[in-house]
Structure 1
Amino acid sequence: MTETTPIIAIDGPAGSGKSSVSKEVARRRGFGYLDTGAGYRALAWHVLARGAETTDADAVLDALESFDLRLGLAPDDRSVAVGEADVTVAIRTPEVTGSIAGFTRVAEVRAYLNAIFRRLAGESGLAGVVIEGRDITSVVAPDAPVRILMTASPEVRAQRRGLESGQDVAEVQAAILRRDASDSHVLDLAEADPGVDVVDTTDRDFEQSIDAVLTVIDRKLGGQDGR
């Protein structure tokens, strides 16, 4: 990370609106957008492509040596590549999705990926980069000038995800609560670290959530252009 590349670090649980809001904020400010989740998916794909299991920590660590992650940073560019292989579509398959949890608790893997995310943002040459995901404000970019925790009640988050997926809201809420419990080792979903601004989207619609985040950004960076 460099002083000339402001980082907007956004954490939040599933259904809080962090992905959609982060992308729109990046569009409106001319910033890059870095989806850390895509990086984890790409690593899962890479491990599986090598014929290994993501639950084998040693195999995952070995795979890191040849893991050449490339992420499109434009808000509307979701391209993901590992070396010369375009895996944009492949990383969204059920097989890859179900394999990610196999290594998320391995500290060495998380540290390696976090270093990649910091390098991609720092070397982007953009006016700023919005990084969203989990443990962004505390681990990936703890020194970022803007750090935001987006939250919402489990009920509202389940309603949003249910509308997106067409699934039963009760089932979605149960899945969200399980995900929250799984992620609790990474991110405190109820409390923000000192210096982190909380944006609760429970009673905010999409535009109101965007406005709330932009207000924090402009307050921390001193204006729309970050100067």
Structure 2
Amino acid sequence: MAEKVPNGRCVVAVDGPSGSGKSTVSRRLAGAIDARYLDTGAMYRAVTWAVLRFGIDPQDADRIGKVVGEIDLEIGVDPQAPSVRADGVAVDQEIRGPEVTAAVSAVAAVPAVRHLMVARQREIIAAAGRIVVEGRDIGAVVAPDADLKVYLTASADARARRRSAEYAADVTATAADLARRDTFDSSRAASPLRQADDAVVLDTTELGIDEVVARLLELLRDTDGGTA
């Protein structure tokens, strides 16, 4: 049976850097409270995939800004089977590839891309009613009025180990890539990675997925006096 959440409608914002456990935790939490699930990072990855497909340089902000509005994105919000389609093509696997991963920070930093994606994300949140949203600027920018804002973090070593295991990659190379993305995402002008002032910070370095989800459920029970 799904957990009850305050007032029926509930928006949970889960932010944090790569490898902090956002995706698995968010999907598990969404399933536990019978909510929808939105991976905003997948949206930026899908745009990046389309940009590369058009043959556009990820550093060419002007060209990206001109074509981003022409990209047709379909985002599935079922936590059991999230899906992403770009221009009619299922790209769930493609957007996790090395070419997209290397380019996504640059594409996501283009103001026109962020403006369009944030607007789309807010539409999805408004329509869902009950939803867990993960990303890098959800609590601070996309959904500042979320019922619960969480910022997940973990040590650099733990994040690198998790991500390298997920993609069967070299740990040292993965750590270097994560450091590069952290610096880029935190310093960009448009909606940088940052913790919302009222977010609950949870270090997942020594915690298992079930422990993190249990902690978030406890926080939700306490939200506005709600009970589970």
Structure with more of its chain in helix, by fraction:
2
> Hey, what's the Cα distance between the residues in 2 that align with 1:183 and 1:92?
18
Deviation string for 1:150-190 (max 9, x for gaps)?
Answer: 111112222322333344433333332222222222124xx
Question: Would you say 1:31 and 2:31 are equivalent positions?
Answer: no
Deviation string for 1:49-93 (max 9, x for gaps)?
Answer: 334333221221111222222100001223212343333333333
The residue correspondences of 1:15-54 to structure 2 (distance < 5 A) are 15-54=19-58
Letter in 1 for 2:202: V
Aligned to 2:127: 123
Instruction: Check the 8 A contact 1:5/1:121 in 2, yes or no.
Output: no
Instruction: Check the 8 A contact 2:105/2:181 in 1, yes or no.
Output: no
1:98 alignment partner, one of 98, 102, 114: 102
Cα deviation for residue 119 of structure 1 reads 0.6
The residue correspondences of 1:39-78 to structure 2 (distance < 5 A) are 39-78=43-82
Aligned to 1:199: 202
Instruction: Check the 8 A contact 1:114/1:140 in 2, yes or no.
Output: yes
Aligned to 1:181: 183
2:215 alignment partner, one of 195, 209, 212: 212
1:150 partner SS: strand
Which blocks of at least 5 consecutive residues in structure 2 are unaligned? Answer: 1-6
Aligned to 2:139: 137
Aligned to 1:158: 160
Aligned to 2:111: 107
Instruction: Check the 8 A contact 2:44/2:107 in 1, yes or no.
Output: no
**Aligned alpha-carbon RMSD (Å):** 2.1
Cα deviation for residue 121 of structure 1 reads 1.8
Cα deviation for residue 101 of structure 1 reads 2.7
* Change in 2 beyond 3 A, CA 1:92/1:143: same
* Change in 2 beyond 3 A, CA 1:105/1:65: closer
Aligned to 2:3: none
> Hey, what's the Cα distance between the residues in 2 that align with 1:50 and 1:163?
31
Show structure 1 runs of 4+ deviating over 6 A. Answer: none
